[in-house]
Structure 1
Amino acid sequence: MPDVTYRQDLYAAVNGAWEKTAVIPDDKPTTGGFADLAIDVEKNLMQDLADFESGAKAYDNPLMAKVVALYRIAKDFDKRDQDNFAPLAPDLKRVADLKDFADLQQQLSDWYKTLPTPFGIQVDADMKDTAKNVVYAFAPSLFLPDKPYYEVDNENGQQLLAAFKKMALQLLQMVDKTEDEAKALLDQALKFDASLVPFVKSAEEWADYTAMYNPKDFDTFSHYSQQLDLGQLVQDLVDAKPDKVIVAEPKFYEHINEILTPATFGNLKAWLYLNTLLSATGSLSEEFRQVGGQYHRALSGSKVAMSQTKSAYYIATNRFSQLVGDYYGRTYFGDAARQDVRQMVQKMIEVYKKRLAQNDWLSEATKTKAILKLSKIVIKVGYPDKIKPIYEKMQVDPNKSLYAVLKDISQVALADQLAKFKRPVDRTEWGMPAQMVNAMYDPSRNDITFPAAILQAPFYSLQQTSSQNYGGIGAVIAHEISHAFDNNGAKFDEYGNMNNWWTDEDYSIFKKLTQAMIAEFDGLPFAGGKVNGKLVVSENVADAGGLSCALEAAKNEPETDLKAFFINWARIWRMKASKQYRQLLLATDVHAPNVLRANEQPKNLADFYTTFGVVPGDGMYLAPEKRVKIW
């Protein structure tokens, strides 16, 4: 393919021919790149799980018997169809029998463990003292994906709301509500949902990660609501009286007495009833599973529900995710590959240190702190060394319904999560399982995680050249390292504590540079809409730092092929997706659209221009004064 094509559109030159023939699986919203690797993982583990169940293959870890047992229950659709919604009926009745807030308050602690509530309580590391766990308070989720969908001129929101209403009405009648009863209940639930919209955070607001840190003394938090004793609930859940609660969404709690009033109790009750029903559809009969997935399919553009067997696979593996991940990592990745990638990560950190030392806009004081932070990053590759003890506690009773078994497992998981309040932060915990095709940086732990599933071609392979690997997994590794210095990560020190380690002048320059990154992407057209530069800024800062750092590492190798480097960078971002899914990502995802990740970041690098001969007038040309370089 002639270089002029790369000069006009790198993404299309690399992925155009593939995109013309690529077929999106009917039960998926997308294919290509990450999605294709996830499908390979899915195929391998589905076959293994089927072989475990039949006895054709043995497993080493006896705890895997629980995964197999849950899989067997989940795919017994004869029993699930026979039970219909009977397993759920007692919980629906419990909601229907609620009389008033006093009644809810009387059973609130027990209620919280199994049923929906109009708020969320979690335990996690204190952002300013990450050795300790604290209580966080959240607002509830909305029915639609994000706040802008509720705006009157949002056509996507109107279409999705119509799909949601259709599904909800059908489900309510399937649990023996008359059509009139279903319409009335749905109307009340939607009114309560609408009452939340002004006071919950949007995806753009959530992108400012540290803005969730709003510590309130326990007495203040306890008295937010006039209708429910939130303080007593927290004490019951964590079996202690905290000094403070971190209020992640203060606007919601400051207005909770406008949301929860005697006059709105009927709306709340309908909202609780509908959420109880919606959360259960995937564990009831086939009809409930199909109808309950209609809204998600409208949202994502998937054409059909996944097969019964595949849905059973996901039910089982999601509940025992790290257990399955340990099996996947040891079976399909192994320790030798783990050590090889670990060395690659360490090499990338050294390149990053060198780049920081040579940085021309940071003061020496800030450079020293930044390099210290780099040296303290904890590297997690492949799969964890140990499995969480929680899986010992989770039980799968073959005599119970799927709904009941999942309820038991969820209660164990919640109890373990809340029990962290009395334990120090476990820095060895992983934020994602080994079979997930992804990677992450955790600012509160200052660690980077690369699960086994992402460590394969086109990201990484011993059959690829070093330049290809650096354009793939190398850029991903450096991307995650860069999150330590994006607009969120830069606010945390080497121990993961939220702490300003910058000089005022340096941070002022950094903010100007991040504004330039916002400007580079803001308003770019995609999927009939425009990119929100503020929503995607942290990931773009990480992409820019990751690509430039990986480029330097590739150039340090004995043999360097920069064409192969940039081509593989574009290849890992290939994606073909439904229109609905592209619109959803544009509205809610903190990552820029894949085609823009592939095309925009190389425009900031001088080596891209010399490698492909890009000149003014070419589609890939960006004027020098508009090119953004941060790390």
Structure 2
Amino acid sequence: MKIQNKFLKATMFAAVLLGATVTTQNVKADDVSDKDNDTNNLTTPVNNQKIYNGFTGTTESQDSSVQATVKDSNASHSSANVTSDVSSNTENTQTDWSNTRQFKPQNDYYQYTNHAWLTSTDVNKDKQDQGTILSTQQDVNSQVQNKFENYLNGTEHTTDPTMQKAIDFYHLYMSQGYTSIQQVNQAATKGIVKQLQELDGLGDIYELSDNLNRFLQNGVTLPIGVKIDIDQVNPSLRALYFYGAEPLLLDDNGDVSNSYSESQDTIGSFLTQAGYDMSNIESIITNTKKFDQILAKYQTKEDLITDHLQANYKGDGINRTTGYLPVNYVNFSNLSSFIDIDKFINESTGTTPGYVFEMTPSFYNNINEILTPENFQLMKAWMISNYILNSNVYLNQLSAGFPTVANETTEQFNQRLGYYLTKNAFSNEFSKYFGDVLLNQETRSAVNDMAKNIVSAYQSEISESSWLSAASKQAAINKLNNIKINVGYPKDSYSFYNTVSVPTTGDFYQTYRNIMSARSYQPFLDYNKPVDRTEWGSLSSLDVNAQYSASRNAIFIGTGIIQSPFFDVSQTDSQNYAGLGTIIGHELSHAFDRNGSLYDANGLVHNWWSNDDFHKYLEKSDQIIKEYDQQTFETVALDGENVANEALADNAGLNVSERALAQKGNANWDQYFKAYAAVNRHKYYIDSRQTTARLNKLDAIKSDPHAPFPIRVNVTLRDNTLFDQTYGVKSGDGMYKGPSTRFDFWA
């Protein structure tokens, strides 16, 4: 099955690259994954953000007399002339690896650098992983919380109106006098019931049609799905993308499936707690299933898969799986005999577009068989069920990740939960405001300079590639040069906060939900604005990671990861390029992984490869897949195909960071590699007993698209020629890999 799966993916990918127009009308269902954000499925590139989420460890200042100088700073990393003084003078601060038999750098570099930290770090105490990502995130979170608490207690002040609104929101929560998370949920349930009663009170399909925009603003899932994303005809503009409704409690064939039983139980349980009688509950669930059967009857399986992908996608814009053909708006808006699509779009966007993109033709070709007066009660039940399930997500957000603290007072509980919910509701404002507070302009400027250096080095990497044709090199460089590099934090004003008032007293949950709904509705208010690839959208600058967005062809390097040990102006260039430099290189490389390479310089699904280059690309991809297929962690065999994108980005990111540092000059390669291994520190908590928790953790590690540490570090370094030259790695050493078998993506 694995071989067949790879073959199908490669065949389908080849069809795209050879110029076939792949749309939802002609893609076979078996060729399309319905798994959210399946970045390894070559047939389904997604509008997702590639999240680095990998450099995990703390670094120490380690001086060394081991000097490696690149004589030709413009030389390729793979052919650099390196001279190293590896003498073991006992007066030097470096480790005398000739006497460290167990952890020689030539045998296990990850252990050589991190053994002391791994030995002293106790993950069993808190039953939690430990590493640099985690510790740095804790530090960033503490800085933000301390600053916000200073605003609350008056020791500091802010003039920012949206941050002041966040302070008012916190006080609104505190005025409720809750004593438990259960009370918060009970209060939230009352607000949800109000919306359900409004939906239940709809008289007919025409009343629904008149109120579509209002329900959209309130976060109600509509039977007509619509999202806004980059226009495929003119990438500087935004466009409307329409998709259909998806079955909710039945499978795509309209049949009962155990996988949907939990959703049905959630709906029944909520309605019971809300005071609905059993006959009403049964009617809602039965009618939802009947509408599911209608959806399954009139839509192709391919289009139902698209419905799933769009309805369940929580990122910005659409979950882009292919190119979609534009359809005339006037013709499209007149498809329905019972729903006034034109009124809905005019109220939502304030304009009449010339064309829209129809993602699921089978739904709209049969819209007058699906959205009819006769089916209205079924449709209404489906909307009610959807609203309950979506609201359940909100309720889970109220307490998700919010730990119970023993022996805390009611006031302490409310202070913790009040801050947690405020940070959640105002996450965009926190990202912008505190991203600025925690990052000075000197550091931001230095990171921008580093990014420019790495892009310049990447141009050379591509130009000197031995397997790319001249045409593909130019196309790749064009895409590289068009990557928008966003450093620090958003500049967006997040105007949706201005549309929501925060009262001093009243319904806390409704205010919370109003903010969430305003956030999701903002793209419709921005419809007439040109595309801005500096928009952070749902990304937070305070998260300790970096992201690449294929559909925007942009990378985002937030304040959260512009922290020591990843980057600090007081650190050496060798340390900074080993930390944040490799991360920037990693994110740039996602533009050319098996998902990102399907997108062009404008962020659209478009073939820019030559046929021969594509086949060579597949050979490169297979090479790294086979390499990681040979790795095991805690007796668990890795899946090379699963980690291929991240492994490729690790490999290319390290190489281009080396080149950029070499071009800058004054590199200390021993310090560089030590810093690289140190910032990758991570220690997993894995139950030593054969428990369900242990098996679940191992399964999570195996399914992670990032290879686990130390494999991720050592395998990447084994493929690195400069590492080999710096430490004199020879045949028989654990870190040795023959030059002819080393993986180098661009070489």
Range class of TM-score, shorter chain: 0.7 to 0.9
By how many angstroms is 1:186 displaced? 6.9
SS at 1:130 equivalent: coil
| Deviations 1:120-144 (CA, angstroms, capped at 9, x unpaired) | 4221222453211111235779999
Q: Does 1:551 align with 2:658?
A: yes
Q: Does 1:271 align with 2:382?
A: no
**Contact 1:29/1:581 (CA < 8 Å) preserved in 2?**
no
Q: Does 1:490 align with 2:604?
A: no
Q: Which moved more, 1:226-235 or 1:597-606?
A: 226-235
Letter of the 1:34 partner, please give it: I
SS at 2:191 equivalent: coil
Distance in 1, Cα, partners of 2:393 & 2:630: 36
Q: Which moved more, 1:188-197 or 1:244-253?
A: 188-197
By how many angstroms is 1:476 displaced? 0.5
Distance in 2, Cα, partners of 1:619 & 1:186: 61
Corresponding position of 1:540:
647
Q: Does 1:517 align with 2:624?
A: yes
Corresponding position of 1:286:
none
Distance in 1, Cα, partners of 2:263 & 2:115: 35
Counterpart among 237, 244, 251 of residue 132 in structure 1: 237
By how many angstroms is 1:51 displaced? 1.8
By how many angstroms is 1:424 displaced? 1.5
Taking the TM superposition and a 5 Å limit, the aligned residue runs for 1:309-324 are 309-324=415-430
Corresponding position of 1:50:
149
Distance in 1, Cα, partners of 2:484 & 2:706: 24
Corresponding position of 1:436:
543
Corresponding position of 1:343:
449
Letter of the 2:133 partner, please give it: F
Distance in 1, Cα, partners of 2:159 & 2:144: 15
Corresponding position of 1:87:
191
Letter of the 1:64 partner, please give it: M
| Deviations 1:141-197 (CA, angstroms, capped at 9, x unpaired) | 9999x99xx999xxxx97xx8887776665444323568977886788799899889
Distance in 2, Cα, partners of 1:489 & 1:377: 12
Letter of the 1:108 partner, please give it: L
Corresponding position of 1:352:
458
By how many angstroms is 1:243 displaced? 3.6
CA pair 468-272 structure 1, distance change in 2 beyond 3 A? same
Letter of the 1:540 partner, please give it: A
Q: Does 1:63 align with 2:162?
A: yes
Taking the TM superposition and a 5 Å limit, the aligned residue runs for 1:224-373 are 233-247=344-358, 262=375, 265=379, 268-269=382-383, 271-281=385-395, 289=398, 293=400, 308-373=414-479
Counterpart among 226, 240, 255 of residue 121 in structure 1: 226
RMSD: 4.8
Distance in 2, Cα, partners of 1:17 & 1:8: 16
SS at 1:129 equivalent: coil
By how many angstroms is 1:95 displaced? 3.5
TM-score, normalised with respect to structure 2? 0.67
**Contact 2:479/2:600 (CA < 8 Å) preserved in 1?**
yes
CA pair 428-600 structure 1, distance change in 2 beyond 3 A? same
By how many angstroms is 1:546 displaced? 0.7
Distance in 1, Cα, partners of 2:434 & 2:614: 43
Overall identity of the aligned pairs, in %: 26
Runs of 5+ in structure 2 lacking a partner? 1-99, 407-411, 687-692
Letter of the 2:464 partner, please give it: Q
Runs of 5+ in structure 1 lacking a partner? 284-288
Counterpart among 108, 123, 130 of residue 212 in structure 2: 108
By how many angstroms is 1:456 displaced? 1.0
**Contact 1:128/1:499 (CA < 8 Å) preserved in 2?**
no
Q: Which moved more, 1:237-246 or 1:250-259?
A: 250-259
Counterpart among 400, 407, 413 of residue 506 in structure 2: 400
Counterpart among 193, 215, 229 of residue 325 in structure 2: 215
SS at 2:189 equivalent: coil
CA pair 7-74 structure 1, distance change in 2 beyond 3 A? farther
Distance in 2, Cα, partners of 1:390 & 1:100: 31
TM-score, normalised with respect to structure 1? 0.78
Letter of the 1:600 partner, please give it: V
| Deviations 1:355-400 (CA, angstroms, capped at 9, x unpaired) | 2222222233333343344344433222345634444444322333
CA pair 619-333 structure 1, distance change in 2 beyond 3 A? same
SS at 1:274 equivalent: helix
Letter of the 2:214 partner, please give it: D
Letter of the 2:469 partner, please give it: S
Letter of the 1:516 partner, please give it: Q
CA pair 172-38 structure 1, distance change in 2 beyond 3 A? farther
Q: Which moved more, 1:474-483 or 1:444-453?
A: 444-453
Taking the TM superposition and a 5 Å limit, the aligned residue runs for 1:183-198 are none
CA pair 563-226 structure 1, distance change in 2 beyond 3 A? farther
By how many angstroms is 1:213 displaced? 2.8
Q: Does 1:574 align with 2:673?
A: no
Counterpart among 358, 374, 382 of residue 480 in structure 2: 374
SS at 1:240 equivalent: coil
By how many angstroms is 1:90 displaced? 1.0
Q: Which structure would you say has the larger RCO, counting Cα contacts within 8 Å and 6 or more residues apart?
A: 2
By how many angstroms is 1:565 displaced? 1.9
By how many angstroms is 1:350 displaced? 1.7
Letter of the 1:87 partner, please give it: G
CA pair 401-270 structure 1, distance change in 2 beyond 3 A? closer
Q: Which moved more, 1:76-85 or 1:463-472?
A: 76-85
Letter of the 1:134 partner, please give it: A
**Contact 2:479/2:601 (CA < 8 Å) preserved in 1?**
yes
CA pair 128-83 structure 1, distance change in 2 beyond 3 A? same
**Contact 2:551/2:604 (CA < 8 Å) preserved in 1?**
yes
Q: Which moved more, 1:532-541 or 1:261-270?
A: 261-270
**Contact 1:521/1:531 (CA < 8 Å) preserved in 2?**
yes
| Deviations 1:107-129 (CA, angstroms, capped at 9, x unpaired) | 33322221233564221222453
CA pair 185-511 structure 1, distance change in 2 beyond 3 A? same
Number of residue equivalences: 607
Q: Does 1:176 align with 2:275?
A: yes
**Contact 1:212/1:249 (CA < 8 Å) preserved in 2?**
no
**Contact 2:673/2:723 (CA < 8 Å) preserved in 1?**
no
Letter of the 1:52 partner, please give it: Y
**Contact 1:379/1:448 (CA < 8 Å) preserved in 2?**
yes
SS at 1:434 equivalent: coil
Q: Does 1:450 align with 2:560?
A: no
